[in-house]
Amino acid sequence: MTQTWSPATYAANAAFVPALGQSILDRLAPRAGQRILDLGCGDGALTTSIVASGASVLAVDASEAMVAAATARGLDADVMDARALTFENRFDAVFSNAVLHWIPEAATVARGIWRALVPGGRFVAEFGGHTNVAAIATAFRAVLQHHGLTVPALWFYPSSDEYRAILEANGFEVTFINSFARPTPLPTGMEGWLETFRGPMLSSHPPALQTQIIGEIVDLLRPSLCDRSGRWTADYVRLQVEAVKR
Domain boundary assignment for the chain: 7-132+155-185+235-245
Question: Would you say domain 7-132+155-185+235-245 falls under CATH 3.30.1330.40?
Answer: no
C-alpha 156, offset from chain centre: 10
pLDDT tens digits for range 26-79: 999 999 999 999 999 999 999 999 999 999 999 999 999 999 999 999 999 999
Q: Which H or E element spans position 94?
A: strand 91-97
The number of residues in the chain equals 246
Tell me, yes or no, if the pTM score tops 0.85. yes
The torsion angle over the Cα atoms of residues 215, 218, 223 and 225, rounded to 10 degrees, is -170
pLDDT at 1: 45
Contacts of 87 (CB under 8 A, 6+ apart): 37, 112, 115, 116
pLDDT in tens, 74-123: 999 999 999 999 999 999 999 999 999 999 999 999 999 999 999 999 99
CB 103 within 8 A of CB 160: no
On the question of pLDDT at 219 being above 50, the answer is yes
